[in-house]
Amino acid sequence: MILIGRFGSPFVRRVAITLRLYGIPHEHQALSASGDDRPKLQAINPVARVPALITDEGETLIDSVTILDYLDRLVGPEKALTPSDGAARTKVMALIGLAIGGIEKSIAAYYEMGKRPEEMWHRPWLDTLLEQSKDGFEALDRAAATPWLAGDRMTQADISTVAFWDFAVRVRPSDAPAMDCPNLVAIADRANALPAFAETKP
C-alpha cells in the first residue's frame, strides 16, 4: 500500500494518522501537486491531487473520504474509528462536517494569500473566509465532548479535527480574528503526544 502526498496537506495527514493507528503497513511518497512532482502525481492520479492511495491490489483511490472509508472496511467495524451505523456514526460524521467546514475556509484563505500578490487580494472575501473558519472551529469546540470529541473513545472526528486544526493554526495570519477553542487545543495537545500524530506533523 502506498500513500501519496505530503503531510503539509491536512487531508493527507489524516489518512497517514489513520494508517498508523490501524497498524497498516504502507509506503509513503511525498509528492506535491505543483512543481516537478506534478507529472509524477498526474501519472498516478489524472487530476493531480492528494491524497491518493495505491492499494495492495493495485487500485488507486483518490480523495481522503474515499480512502478512509476503504481503510475502515479493511480493518472491520470493531476496529474502525468511524462507527458503522446508528446515532454514534451520525455524531462522528456531524463533527467531521464541522471540521471540514472550518478547514475548507482556512485553505481558501491560505491560497488567496499564498498564490496571489497582496495587491490582488480581495480583502472583503479574505476577511469573510477567516471569519467563517473561526466560526466553524468555534462551533466544533462548543460541540466537543471530553476527553475526545465524541466522548471516551478517539474517533475519526478527532483525527480529522487535529489534522485540520493544526493546519489552520499554522497558516492563519497574525492579524486574523483569534479562534477561541480551548477544547480543540486540549484535544490537539493530547493527540499530538501520540506517535501516529507526532510522526506526521509537518
Q: What is the pLDDT of residues 42-53, one digit of tens each?
A: 999 888 899 999
Find out whether 2 and 15 touch, Cβ atoms under 8 Å.
no
d(CA 194, CA 190): 7
DSSP assignment of 130-160 equals: HHHHHHHHHHHHHH--SSBTTBSS--HHHHH
Decide if pLDDT at 117 tops 90: no
Residues 117, 173 within the same domain: yes
Alpha-helical runs (H) found in 58-181: 64-75, 86-115, 123-143, 156-171
Nearest to 50 by CA among 15, 25, 81, 77: 15
Q: Output phi, psi for 23, to 5 deg.
A: 70, 30
Residues 170, 93 within the same domain: yes
pLDDT at 7: 97
Residue 160: which pLDDT band, with cuts at 50, 70 and 90? very high
User: Counting beta carbons within 10 angstroms of the beta carbon of residue 102, is it exposed (0 to 12), middle (13 to 18) or buried (19 or more)?
Assistant: buried
Residues 142, 177 within the same domain: yes
Residues 62, 95 within the same domain: no
Strands 52-54 and 60-62: antiparallel
Residue 36: which pLDDT band, with cuts at 50, 70 and 90? confident
Residues 70, 145 within the same domain: no
Residues 54, 90 within the same domain: no
Of 54, 75, 96, which marks where a domain is finished? 75
- Mean pLDDT (the chain) is 95
Residues 135, 186 within the same domain: yes
Decide if pLDDT at 84 tops 90: yes
pLDDT at 19: 98
Q: What's the number of domains the chain is made of?
A: 2
Find out whether 3 and 12 touch, Cβ atoms under 8 Å.
yes
pLDDT at 65: 97
Q: Within a domain: residue 81?
A: no
Amino acid code (one letter) for 164? F
Q: What is the pLDDT of residues 38-83, one digit of tens each?
A: 999 999 988 889 999 999 999 999 999 999 999 999 999 999 999 9
Q: What is the CA radius of gyration of the chain?
A: 17
Query: For the domain that residue 104 is a member of, what is the CATH number?
Result: 1.20.1050.10
Q: What is the pLDDT of residues 164-195, one digit of tens each?
A: 999 999 999 999 999 999 999 999 999 999 99
Decide if pLDDT at 114 tops 90: no
pLDDT at 17: 98
Q: Within a domain: residue 129?
A: yes
pTM of the model: 0.95
Query: For the domain that residue 38 is a member of, what is the CATH number?
Result: 3.40.30.10
SS3 28: strand
pLDDT at 119: 86
Structural domain including 64 reads 2-75
Residues 149, 52 within the same domain: no
d(CA 135, CA 146): 20
Residues 104, 36 within the same domain: no
pLDDT at 34: 81
Decide if pLDDT at 150 tops 90: yes
